[in-house]
Amino acid sequence: MSARRRGLIALLLFFAGTLVTFQAGRTQGFPRDEGYYFEAGELYAGWYEELLTHPSKALTRASVDRWFGYNHEHPALMKTLFGLSWRLLHRCECPRQAGRHPVAYSHPHRTLSLLSEAEAFRLPADLFAGLLVALVFLFGAQAWSTGVGLVAAVLTLAAPRMFFHAQLACFDAPVVTTWVACVWAYWRALSDRRWGWRAGVAFGLALATKHNGFFLPFVLGAHYLVVTARALRRGERFRFPVVFLWMAGLGPLIELAHWPWLWFDTVARFREYLAFHLHHVYYNMEYLGTNYNKPPFPWSYAFVMTLFTVPVTTLALGLGGAAVLLDDWRRERRGDPSFLPASPFSATCPGLLVGLNALFPLCIIAFTGAPIFGGVKHFLATLPFLALLAGVALDRLVRYSVGVLGGTVRGARMAMAGAGVLVCLPAVAETVRSHPYGLTHYNLLAGGPAGGADLGLNRQYWGYSTRGVLPWLDEHAPRHAAVYWHDTNQPILNMNVREGLLREDIGNTGLEEPGVRASSIAMVIHERHFNKYEYWIWDFFFPSGRTTKPARVLTHEGVPIVTVYERPRP
Amino acid sequence: MTATGKRWPLLLAALLLALVVIETGAAVRARSRVAGEADWQATAAAVRAEFRPGDLIVFAPAWMDPVGRSYLGDLMPIEMVARSDADRYGRIWEVSIRGARAAETAGAEREVEQDHGLVHVARWKSPPPAPVTVRYDFTAHLAEALVTQLPVDGRGDERPCFQDPRDGDAGFGCASTHVGRRTLEIDYRPRRGVLVPVDQHLVTRLEYRAVPLGGTLVGYTGLHDYYARKNADGPVDFVVFIDDETVYRGRTGNADAWKRFAIDTSRFAGAAPHRVRFEVSAPAPAWRNFGFHVEARP
């Protein structure tokens, strides 16, 4: 296939991926961290506005600290994009929403008024999701075949956890995009030096997206060693790894340039940033019936969670793809005369690169003692590479099957198209099924969401699912109701009000025991360690102890995710 | 190569196709396999029709408890939901889905069972010794206790804690903590009991002056609140006295969950009431949210 046609398909995939995540995001709850990033985005956009209007003031330390001091534990790239998108596109009623924005506005913003506020904030994440799909296609199509690329592109996004994160104005899916971009650009740079600087830019963007980017040189370095050793064995001369020079040069430069907070006290602030993640407080995560909130964490976590959350067909094909590539390697080493390289780029070992990247994110969690509280989102980068392996497996299976049946090349292409659609069906069906409670979803092996609950796997996190009880609250809550929102934080509530999803008069009684005591409606978001909040509600709402009847239970396929109580009215 | 050997790609393709059909089918049919409103309404009506005081309602699997309580919660007081054991209950209503069984019905005799759509209801006759008649529930009678504190080393005065009912329930304000009747979170499960957060280097005493004892005192101890268990792991000492005689001395740690003990009190049984005192202290008191529940049984 010509590069032009490949590019056209990539473009279509980009639009499709963007559109699907954008559309799904309209019914997706806002999680805790997204609430912080909404606020950060608005603040960071404020700095750029000041840069345009009062550049000399904007470049002072006081101004930078005012706008970028908030949420400086993460780099600014995505938050800046969220904020700029919001600034440009949202329909503004900001002056009327005093107290629900991090900044007070006396006049409405002049914008294009194309999207709601949340849609505008989330649009960059949607675009990154589209980009991810396009990049995976290009990688698969260039390294193996168009069919491999297409199947891998669909399977990457058609996975409940990835799809969930891809809709959010957060960093966990975008960093997968920048990770894949860097891996792909690095791989291209091995055979085309012009790609070196692009790999450097992609590495910089990965660093600027989330700290996961720091791990990229390790996995790429390991791959480069193997490629170089093979080249030397073949008698080729040693080629200096220029691509790493680009990465070493552009990576830190982009990290520094994009993040004004680092422009002052750079070393101390960079240390602070690293220290935040190296000494992160341990949150809770239920795994196989045990709540983990301090080390040691189970090494099996990342593998078992992958086993139970990725659609089984994708998983089976991914393992098949790994077996295919191992078999290729074995036959090549033996000098098997029937072995033909599957890729014109086989000297650059794309299979090894994909295999390493499928395993590496899992191994970081499994073998470094890293906390597991982030759940699957901390090793989401495995998924596109698993999807590529799945594409390879399908491609090979179709070729062999058509060969056995004596089919033609055209027949093989048609068979691949049909098989591609078929193997994507379960992944798409699982993803549709999981929406909008993707974090509660478990796959066929686990027995679905109910099976996940049986197994004692984490029900959810981040307090986003309370969106499902907003219609009930709007209908039932008395005026100025004092509500205990549990893990749903104030920035989320602000956005719910700004989006017209929650009545403005409904209050928030705050955190912990005083919050429950002060409330007339209280909810518990079901996670194992959160049970005590439900017991507090019983004690404070029903002191006679005669009942434990909730007013509303929100479920996903029968599994409780939020339970709401009403204090009996006198 | 044999014919089968040549055809392995077709075999794999067939397996893959089967997996595709099974996984897609499971995803498409998932929501139809969930018990619906009508199933639950019918279940609730069936249980209500024959429920009588002294019955226990349990849900299996345990995670569907909130859903079940949204239909039957008015029959389920906190004391039932946060019970220490099922010994008080003569009959057990087990409401289950997906073929699950509740631990409480192990060894019980099934009397009735019926299906309401996807919800299964069974009534069980509790295994002996249930139903146990409790002679005195120390949690329920907390308001009758005299609560005091004194230094662990005994050097200093015994100071009273004052009646300080909160949220309409029994409680005492002590030096820097509050002793009260609460639904405790012990090992992530609800347990109705008395919360006695260990107060600095003090012994907290709870004395009940007129307890009608029977043949046994059955009790449970544990550490409340996952966050406290995360932040500390030292043991808590719990001592039981009857008429100033030590009858039980135990240590409770994070891993003990809701630890059961039983004391033979047959020599104290009879018409005359007795003084029963509980003492709580810990070598490392920080984050030690100790809870207990004790019953005098025949």
Closest partner residue to B76 among A320, A532, A548, by Cβ? A548
Q: Do A422 and B17 touch (CB under 8 A)?
A: yes
- Burial of A479 per CB tally in 10 Å (0-12, 13-18, 19+): exposed
Q: Do B167 and A539 touch (CB under 8 A)?
A: yes
- Burial of A183 per CB tally in 10 Å (0-12, 13-18, 19+): buried
State the Cα–Cα distance between residues B123 and B31, nearest whole angstrom: 28
pLDDT tens track for A286-295: 999 999 999 9
pLDDT confidence of residue B1 = 46
Number of CB atoms found within 10 A of residue B114's CB: 12
pLDDT confidence of residue A153 = 98
CB-based contact (8 Å) between A97 and chain B? no
pLDDT tens track for B212-235: 999 999 999 999 999 999 999 999
Q: Do B78 and A529 touch (CB under 8 A)?
A: no
Q: Do A397 and B184 touch (CB under 8 A)?
A: no
Q: Do A422 and B183 touch (CB under 8 A)?
A: no
If you average pLDDT over every residue of chain A, what do you get? 96
pLDDT confidence of residue B167 = 67
pLDDT confidence of residue A184 = 98
Cis peptide bond N-terminal to B235, omega within 30: no
If you average pLDDT over every residue of chain B, what do you get? 95
Chain A residues within an 8 Å CB radius of B98:
450, 454
Closest partner residue to A547 among B30, B74, B224, by Cβ? B74
Name residue, tokens 């997906």.
B98
Chain A residues within an 8 Å CB radius of B225:
532
pLDDT tens track for A369-386: 888 988 999 999 999 999
Closest partner residue to B20 among A405, A422, A547, by Cβ? A422
Closest partner residue to B67 among A429, A542, A560, by Cβ? A560
Q: Reply yes or no on whether the pLDDT at B2 is more than 70.
A: no
Q: Who wins on pLDDT, A281 or B122?
A: B122
Q: Do B30 and A433 touch (CB under 8 A)?
A: yes
Per-residue exposure over B167-187, b if at least 16 CB sit within 10 Å of its own CB, e if not: bebbbbbbeebbbbbbbbbbb
Query: Which long-range contacts does B106-109 make (Cβ < 8 Å, 24+ apart)?
Result: none
Q: Do B167 and A549 touch (CB under 8 A)?
A: no
Residue B3: closest C-alpha in chain A:
A404
Record the pTM. Answer: 0.96
Q: Who wins on pLDDT, A409 or B196?
A: B196
- Which residues does A270 contact at the CB level (< 8 Å), separation at least 6? A262
Q: Do B66 and A563 touch (CB under 8 A)?
A: yes
- pLDDT category at A3 given cuts 50, 70, 90 is confident
Give the 3-state secondary structure of B27-39: HHHHHHHCCCHHH
> In this structure, what token pair is assigned to residue A452?
């996940």
pLDDT confidence of residue A337 = 73
CB-based contact (8 Å) between A570 and chain B? no
Q: Do A550 and B185 touch (CB under 8 A)?
A: no
Q: Reply yes or no on whether the pLDDT at B179 is more than 90.
A: yes
pLDDT tens track for A419-467: 999 999 999 999 999 999 999 999 999 999 999 999 999 999 999 999 9
Closest partner residue to A426 among B6, B23, B63, by Cβ? B23
Chain B residues within an 8 Å CB radius of A550:
66, 69-70, 73
Of A142-146, A468-472, B151-155, the poorest mean pLDDT is in B151-155
Q: Do B81 and A548 touch (CB under 8 A)?
A: yes
State the Cα–Cα distance between residues A40 and A46, nearest whole angstrom: 10
pLDDT confidence of residue B166 = 75
Alpha carbon of A486: minimum distance to chain B alpha carbons (Å): 16
Interface test with A, best of B22, B58, B183 (most A CBs within 10 A): B183
Average confidence (pLDDT) over B264-270: 94
- pLDDT category at B164 given cuts 50, 70, 90 is confident
Q: Do B183 and A294 touch (CB under 8 A)?
A: no
Q: Do A552 and B70 touch (CB under 8 A)?
A: yes
Interface of A with B in 380-439 (CB under 8 A): 397-398, 400-401, 403-405, 419, 422-423, 425-426, 429-430, 432-433
Closest partner residue to A444 among B26, B35, B230, by Cβ? B26
- pLDDT category at A343 given cuts 50, 70, 90 is low
Contact (CB, 8 A) for A389 and A357:
no
HSE of A331, CA atoms in CB hemisphere, 13 A: 13
Residue A483, strand partner residues = A508, A521
pLDDT confidence of residue A30 = 98
Residue A522, strand partner residues = A484, A565
Q: Reply yes or no on whether the pLDDT at B5 is more than 90.
A: no
Interface of A with B in 429-448 (CB under 8 A): 429-430, 432-433, 443-444, 448
Residue A399: closest C-alpha in chain B:
B9
Q: Tell me which H or E stretch contains B189.
A: strand B189-197
Interface test with A, best of B188, B287, B293 (most A CBs within 10 A): B188
- Burial of A225 per CB tally in 10 Å (0-12, 13-18, 19+): exposed
pLDDT tens track for A18-42: 999 999 999 999 999 999 999 999 9
Q: Do A538 and B78 touch (CB under 8 A)?
A: yes
Contact (CB, 8 A) for A102 and A230:
no
Chain A residues within an 8 Å CB radius of B24:
425-426, 429
pLDDT confidence of residue B4 = 54
Interface test with B, best of A422, A532, A565 (most B CBs within 10 A): A532
Interface of A with B in 313-332 (CB under 8 A): 313, 316-317, 320
Average confidence (pLDDT) over B40-50: 98
Chain A residues within an 8 Å CB radius of B30:
433, 448, 557
| Closest C-alpha to B277, from B205, B181, B194, B180 | B205
HSE of A332, CA atoms in CB hemisphere, 13 A: 14
pLDDT tens track for A228-279: 999 898 898 888 899 999 999 999 999 999 999 999 999 999 999 999 999 8
pLDDT tens track for A43-101: 999 999 999 999 999 999 999 999 999 999 999 999 999 999 999 999 999 999 989 99
Alpha carbon of A153: minimum distance to chain B alpha carbons (Å): 18
| Closest C-alpha to A160, from A417, A452, A513 | A452
State the Cα–Cα distance between residues B43 and B36, nearest whole angstrom: 11
Closest partner residue to B77 among A284, A448, A545, by Cβ? A545
Chain A residues within an 8 Å CB radius of B19:
312-313, 316, 426
Residue A565: closest C-alpha in chain B:
B70
Interface test with B, best of A535, A549, A556 (most B CBs within 10 A): A535
Q: Reply yes or no on whether the pLDDT at B78 is more than 50.
A: yes
